Amino acid sequence: SSEVLEAIENVIQDVLKSLAQKKAPVLTVANRSVWRNIEFKDSVGLQMVPRCTTKHIRSDCPRSAHKFALMLKILSMIYKMVQSNTYATKRDIYYSDTLLFGSQSIVDNIINDISCMLKIPRRSLHILSTTKGFVAGNLSYTEEDGTNVNCTCSATVCIIKHLNRKDLISHAKFMLIVEKDATFQRLLDDDFCNKMSPCIMITGRGIPDLNTRLFIRKLQDTFQMPIFTLMDADPHGVEIMCVYKYGSLSMSFEAHHLTVPSIKWLGLLPSDLVRLNIHKDALIPFTKQDQNKLASIQKRPYIACQPMWKKELEIMAASKLKAEIQVLTSLSSDYLSRVYLPNKLQFGGWI
């Protein structure tokens, strides 16, 4: 807490010094939106380079003065919360003055800029993400407030909330990250966690929030178990898997706490669609957006060191067709849990 308060005080002192010298105060933040500020390392994923290019948020420039004011406003809110040991979600901050902030995305972006500028992880700023991730399977733990949570019971879903859990206990043999809530629920209904060897199942319900990513990293650090992903065979699914494995451009300054480079791509692979003779009528044609997204992913630095991934993306690009995991129901209603996943896990059908 004292580190956070000191870091904020240093920023404010610089603002006051500029004012005392009759200069317009400026806040300097790393440019988190350009690939030249990112380097790729196998062991970490995407991380910000030490001497990255920066942006100046000036108080005397019409284009940035409003953002300058918003950054000071949120810094003062963080300072008060750290002092009083209270917490707020990003949503709480936005709704404290919707007219001032304008949109939730503006608040989210400023919070990430502040975290990067102060070089302090976001969770230490007393700002919580609105949690959307679910976990089920062979796992129990104690919450910070002493509540015992057991995810092992059949069809139990625990919401991934705070990270300060103790006494993590699991006899799981592997972890399965599922892209969508619908597939996650279907696997729960089919009692997948118990029918296969004990496992932990997690979904971030689309693009994962910070808590879900931190939670997966915590489980990996604790149990060192194999982690597999089950995503749609489309550019969006691949993008989500890359966020879990290698991180994202905008959060690259926190890569060391968030990425899990050991994650494997279990399915749905574009080559599976050919191998399983999925009828073309069950597949969805690419949109222009899909083509652009796939082309962007193919240029990413980590694809070069993943020849099998490269091949799968080439199959997808050549066919210009995509498929949701639900396409497997065209083979049989329980094909995913009864045939597809058991065979893949048993015979090593991942890359």
Q: CB of 231 within 8 A of CB of 238?
A: yes
**Per-residue model confidence (pLDDT) at position 156:** 64
Q: What is the pLDDT of residues 217-276, one digit of tens each?
A: 989 999 999 999 999 999 999 999 999 999 887 777 777 788 899 999 998 999 999 889
**Per-residue model confidence (pLDDT) at position 8:** 93
Q: What is the pLDDT of residues 65-119, one digit of tens each?
A: 999 999 999 999 999 999 998 888 888 999 988 998 999 999 998 998 998 889 8
Task: Give the burial string for 85-116 (b: 16+ CB within 10 Å, else e).
Answer: eeebebeebbeeeeeebeeeeebbbbbbbbbb
Does 121 score more than 90 pLDDT?
no
Does 129 score more than 80 pLDDT?
no
Report the CATH number that the domain containing residue 82 is assigned in CATH: 1.10.10.10
CA dihedral 197, 157, 160, 146 (to 10 degrees): -100
**Per-residue model confidence (pLDDT) at position 256:** 79
> Active-site residue numbers?
95
Query: What secondary structure letter does DSSP report for 117?
Result: H
Does 105 share its domain with 150?
Answer: no
Does 309 share its domain with 342?
Answer: yes
Q: What is the pLDDT of residues 31-57, one digit of tens each?
A: 877 777 777 888 888 887 777 778 888
Does 191 score more than 80 pLDDT?
yes
Q: Where is the domain boundary, 82, 113, 128? A: 128
Does 149 share its domain with 124?
Answer: no
Does 157 share its domain with 301?
Answer: yes
Region 317-329: what's the mean pLDDT?
Answer: 91
Does 163 score more than 70 pLDDT?
no
Q: What is the pLDDT of residues 279-296, one digit of tens each?
A: 888 889 999 999 999 999
Q: Which residue has the higher pLDDT, 154 or 124?
A: 124
The residue written with tokens 């918003």 in the block is 70
pLDDT class for 162, splitting at 50, 70, 90? low
Does 347 score more than 70 pLDDT?
yes
Does 104 share its domain with 159?
Answer: no
Does 109 share its domain with 161?
Answer: no
Q: CB of 251 within 8 A of CB of 112?
A: yes
Strand segments (E) across the chain: 26-30, 38-41, 45-48, 54-58, 88-89, 127-128, 134-137, 140-142, 148-150, 158-159, 166-169, 174-178, 199-203, 227-230, 264-267, 284-285, 321-322
Does 299 score more than 70 pLDDT?
yes
Report the CATH number that the domain containing residue 164 is assigned in CATH: 3.40.1360.10
Question: What token pair was written down for 253?
Answer: 């300054």
**Per-residue model confidence (pLDDT) at position 74:** 93
The count of domains in the chain is 2
Does 118 share its domain with 234?
Answer: no
Does 175 share its domain with 317?
Answer: yes
Q: Where is the domain boundary, 128, 151, 185? A: 128
Residue 286 and residue 23: Cα distance in Å, rounded? 53
Three-class DSSP category at 56: strand
**Per-residue model confidence (pLDDT) at position 152:** 80
Q: Where is the domain boundary, 128, 150, 181? A: 128
Number of H helices, E strands in the chain: 15, 17
Residue 338 and residue 249: Cα distance in Å, rounded? 37
The boundaries of the domain holding residue 148 are 134-347
